[in-house]
């Protein structure tokens, strides 16, 4: 195993809401918050740029929670956020790490994901069927993710769940950026009706709160 990529761009998605209707990533863990803990981890393993994408009303809270070297962008919906991810992918000089800002993971797990040359692009996942909508189901075949759901799409014959962290290798940034930009276009005028129907079905099936 070699050292981490020379350049890593980390994107933290501060989207989950706590019971206090505040960013869940600002909940405390020890002497810091979930967000600051997650920011420190990729920085220790090669990240020279960190961007926090959040909901517009939470922008100030996130800015106040991080140091001045972290970029914070507030967006009013998924279209702008996806377009921003596409722009970041277009300009990244090395690997891209995208993670939910409230995820707690062992430092060694993240280090291995970034440093292992066998993982050009990959996700953290589990073979368990996780409840709710925060861990989308996936289907893995021979170690590769061949299908994945979102809150608005389903996957058949699933055999695992995502854990909120994705690495996009530098060789795959073009495809990742194009995919993000395509979905940004699909959601520019609001979510298609059929997506809303699927989300409602998931909420009813999994007992998740809207």
Structure tokens, 139 = 């289907």
Choose among 170, 169, 154, 156: nearest CA to 203.
154
Half-sphere exposure of 55 (CA within 13 A, CB side): 10
Measured in whole angstroms, how far is the alpha carbon of residue 99 from the centre of its chain? Answer: 3
Under a CB-based contact definition with an 8 Å cutoff, are residues 99 and 13 in contact? yes
How many angstroms separate the CA atoms of 45 and 120, rounded? 16
Contacts of 48 (CB under 8 A, 6+ apart): 7, 8, 9
**Averaged pLDDT in 10-residue chunks for the chain of 210 residues:** 64 93 95 96 91 97 96 95 96 93 90 84 86 80 90 87 92 95 91 85 69
pTM above 0.85, yes or no: yes
Q: Cα–Cα–Cα angle for 41, 99, 83, nearest 5°?
A: 130
């Amino acid at each position: 195993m070699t050292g981490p990529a020379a350049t890593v761009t980390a994107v933290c998605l501060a989207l989950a809401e706590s019971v206090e209707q505040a960013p869940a990533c600002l909940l405390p863990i020890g002497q810091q918050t979930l967000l600051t803990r997650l920011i420190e981890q990729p920085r220790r393993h090669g990240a020279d740029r960190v961007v926090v994408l959040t909901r517009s009303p939470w922008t100030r809270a996130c800015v106040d929670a991080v140091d001045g070297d972290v970029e914070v962008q507030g967006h009013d919906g998924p279209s702008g956020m996806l377009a921003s991810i596409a722009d970041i992918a277009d300009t990244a000089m090395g690997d891209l790490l995208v993670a939910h800002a409230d995820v707690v993971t062992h430092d060694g797990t993240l280090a291995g994901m970034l440093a292992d040359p066998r993982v050009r692009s990959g996700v953290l996942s589990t073979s368990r069927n996780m409840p709710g909508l925060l861990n989308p189901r996936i289907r893995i075949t021979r170690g590769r993710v061949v299908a994945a759901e979102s809150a608005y799409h389903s996957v058949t014959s699933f055999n695992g769940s995502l854990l909120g962290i994705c690495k996009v290798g530098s060789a795959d940034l073009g495809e990742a950026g194009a995919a993000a930009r395509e979905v940004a276009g699909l959601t520019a005028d609001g979510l298609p009706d059929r997506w809303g129907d699927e989300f409602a079905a998931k909420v009813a099936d999994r007992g998740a709160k809207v």
